[in-house]
Amino acid sequence: MADLIKIRATLQGDVADVKVLMNHPMETGQRKDVKTGQLVPAHYIQTVTATLNGRKVMEAQWSQAISKNPFLGFKVKGAHLGDRVAISWVDTKGDQNSAEAVIGG
Amino acid sequence: MNTLRRTFLQGSGALSLVLAAGLAQPVRALAAEWNKAGFDSKGTPETLRAIGAGAMIESNAITIKAPELAESGMSVPVEVSSQIAGTQSIAVMVERNAQPLAAQFNFESGMAAYVSTRLKLGETSNVRVVVKAGDKVYTAVKQVKVTIGGCGGTTVQS
């Protein structure tokens, strides 16, 4: 499945500015389906891990209060052009996804 | 739901998939650590207790960038940075949401203490940030006024 995670990483000095867009419904469990009137079950990303060249730099724990199709921005110090930034997530159903990008100028 | 997920992760099929992707370490570590008590907590005091934020120091070394007024609470951009040396984690709470804890970010050394994301606000609320550095806990608050809430009810997603 393509494009479930989009990553853009650009170097500013020795800091990589990383912007990530994830494709996920982030259902709160409080929303009603407009057609059936039934509550849509909660389904959201719970954990996100970021790595630089395979080394973990950040882990995020999320609730259903993160917006649909989540955006995540963060900054890694000591990064270089060509370094690899990877993102992986796991959601409440145990589904997971990951993607990688190379830091550009 | 959480129990289901754990069971799923423990299933050999899922685990071998995870291993195949070379992600076994972070996935397993995180699955064990997701702060269920914190995320399930209702109300600000209970949530603060659940995330171990006892005596907090109000700090203006924490910057919260968020709109004063958001027309829709579905997707409110919130940017947090901490100038506190040795910042290990940033927790973001929406105090008026049913379960206030929205996210917690844990940083390894070498990371800038900065994070940017978009939150759902059910109504006008304080966004509270809790920063842990060493054995101290710091906090800052910014109010976001919301015209239309973003946690369910009448909102429609396509």
Model confidence band, residue A6 (pLDDT cutoffs 50, 70, 90): very high
Indicate the DSSP class of residue A93: T
Q: Which of B82, B78, B77 is nearest to B62 (CA)?
A: B82
Global pTM reads: 0.84
Q: Which of B21, B99, B153 sits opposite A98 (nearest CB)?
A: B21
For position B109, what pLDDT does the model report? 83
Nearest to A43 by CA among A58, A57, A33, A35: A33
Half-sphere exposure of B94 (CA within 13 A, CB side): 33
3-state secondary structure of B68: coil
Contact B120 A49 (CB under 8 A): no
pLDDT score of B148: 80
State residue B6's pLDDT score. Answer: 52
Q: Which residues of A touch B (CB under 8 A)?
A: 15, 25, 28, 30-32, 34, 42, 46-47, 49, 51, 55-68, 70-78, 88, 90, 92-94, 96, 98
* Cα of A42 to nearest chain B Cα, Å: 9
Check if the beta carbon of residue B82 is closer than 8 Å to that of residue B139: no
Residue B106 is predicted with a pLDDT of 96
Instruction: Write out pLDDT tens, residues B98-127.
Output: 999 999 999 998 799 999 999 999 999 999
Assess B117–A contact: CB distance below 8 Å, yes or no.
yes
Residue with tokens 């800091």: A15
Is a pLDDT exceeding 80 seen at residue B20? no
**Which DSSP string corresponds to B73-139?**
SSSEEEEEEE-STTEEEEEEEETTSSS-EEEEEEEPTTEEEEEEEEE--SSSEEEEEEEEETTEEEE
ipTM score: 0.94
